[in-house]
Amino acid sequence: MIDTLNHQFGIPGAVTVSEGNGGLPKVVLTHASGSSCEVYLHGVHISSWKTPSGDELFFLSRESWWQNDKPIRGGIPVVFPQFGGRGPLPAHGFARTSEWQLLCSGVLDNGIVNCDLQITETAETLAIWPHRFALGLRVMLDAHALTVGAQVINTGEQPFDFQIALHTYFQVADITKTAVAGLQRTTYIDTLQENARIVESRPEIRFAAETDSVYPNAPDALRIEDGGNGRTVAIDKVDMPDVVVWNPWIAKSQRMPDFGDDEYLRMVCVETGAIETKPVLAPGEKWEGDTTFTVE
Ligand code: BG6
pLDDT digits (tens, 9 = 90+) for 244-288: 999 999 999 999 999 999 999 999 999 999 999 999 999 999 999
CA distances from 162 to 96, 135, 269, 280 (A): 15, 11, 21, 7
Q: Assess whether 276 carries a catalytic annotation.
A: no
Does residue 30 contact residue 14 with C-beta atoms inside 8 Å? yes
Of all protein residues, the one whose alpha carbon is nearest to atom 16 of ligand 1 is 256
Does residue 37 contact residue 141 with C-beta atoms inside 8 Å? yes
**Confidence (pLDDT) at 173:** 98
How many Cα atoms are found within 13 Å in the side-chain-facing hemisphere of 224?
31
Distance CA 15, CA 8 (A): 11
The number of the ligand 1 atom at minimal distance from the alpha carbon of 258 is: 16
Distance CA 96, CA 163 (A): 13
Q: What is the pTM of this model?
A: 0.98
Ligand 1 pocket by Cβ (under 6 Å): 84, 91-92, 167, 191, 212, 244, 246, 271
Task: State pLDDT tens for residues 44-76.
Answer: 999 999 999 999 999 999 999 999 899 999 999
What is the pLDDT confidence band of residue 86, given thresholds at 50, 70 and 90?
A: very high
Task: Report CA(38)–ligand 1 centroid distance (Å).
Answer: 22
Residue 85 in 3-state DSSP? coil
CB neighbour burial string for 90-102, b if at least 16 within 10 angstroms, e if fewer: eebbbbbbbebeb
